[in-house]
Amino acid sequence: MNVIYIMWLRQLKKYFRSKSRIIGSLGQPLLFLLAFGFGFGAIFKKAGAGNYMQFLAPGIILMSVLFTAIFSGIDLIWDRQFGFLKETMVAPVSRFQIMLGKTLGGATVAAIQGVIVFVLTIIVGFRPHDLILLPLGAVVVSLVAVLFTSLGIGLASTMEDMQGFQLIMNFLVMPIFFLSGALFPLEGLPKAMDIIASLDPLTYGVDGLRYSFIGAQSVFGMTTDMLVLTILTVALLGLGSRLFERIQA
């Protein structure tokens, strides 16, 4: 347990020491909020779909969580290149504990990033529908954070090149985000698009968070959202630990 705590704490210290990283990571969510929220707001309203900022905010919050979580794998490659990982690996502790500590640390950072973006959405006009449901939204954010941090660390365990990791992540992250329904309603999509969206893990997070934050009717049902997110989180945590155990530091 001490190893898990140490690795978790190290991830948080790295995050809070880099003020430029914190500020820089807010640029993209803020751009999406302003450009899409106000740019398409009038069109969305004319279509009879209501306030687009209310619809958009949960998706942008999870976008920030997704990017921060999955790119936590870069820290693993960085530690590998500069020898810190090798020092950790020779310690008389299980690799699963090391990986779990890194995952929980990266997920905590991603969740904090989501909270910061949530505050930004409040500033630009977003208002939660029911404060009682906010804790449920926090659970959704936590599951998404752990899920994609596990994925990022698992993929990083198979790579040694930071540039290669960034290319693969960009190829993976952008489709995950854009096909999740974060920017558009899932109802009325073409059949092929509907199938692809239903295979996207983030889709269930966006659907659940939208229900929690704005009271929108869940497309899949809140029970399904939570069940899918929980199963995928456990599965990817297990897969990530297996890949991490095979890593050659």
Among 41-45, 67-71, 82-86, which stretch is predicted with the lowest mean pLDDT? 82-86
51 pLDDT band, cuts 50/70/90, is: confident
Q: Look up the pTM and report it.
A: 0.90
Q: What is the mean pLDDT of the chain?
A: 84
What does the pLDDT read at residue 121? 92
- The answer to whether position 162 is within a domain reads yes
- The answer to whether position 110 is within a domain reads yes
- The answer to whether position 142 is within a domain reads yes
- The answer to whether position 18 is within a domain reads no
| DSSP state letters, the chain | -HHHHHHHHHHHHHHHH-HHHHHHTTHHHHHHHHHHHHHTHHHHHHTT---HHHHHHHHHHHHHHHHHHHTTHHHHHHHHHTTHHHHHHTSSS-HHHHHHHHHHHHHHHHHHHHHHHHHHHHHTT---S-GGGHHHHHHHHHHHHHHHHHHHHHHHTT---HHHHHHHHHHHHHHHHHTTTSSS-STT--HHHHHHHHT-HHHHHHHHHHHHHH-PPPSS-HHHHHHHHHHHHHHHHHHHHHHHHT---
- The answer to whether position 189 is within a domain reads yes
Count up the domains in the chain and report the number: 1
Domain span at residue 200?
Answer: 2-11+27-245
Please compute the mean of the pLDDT values over residues 44-56 and round it to a whole number: 77
- The answer to whether position 20 is within a domain reads no
- The answer to whether position 21 is within a domain reads no
pLDDT above 70: percentage of residues in the chain: 91
Please check the confidence at residue 200 and state whether its pLDDT lies above 60: yes
- The answer to whether position 46 is within a domain reads yes
Please compute the mean of the pLDDT values over residues 133-144 and round it to a whole number: 94
- Which pLDDT tens digit goes with each residue over 144-167? 999 999 998 888 888 777 777 777
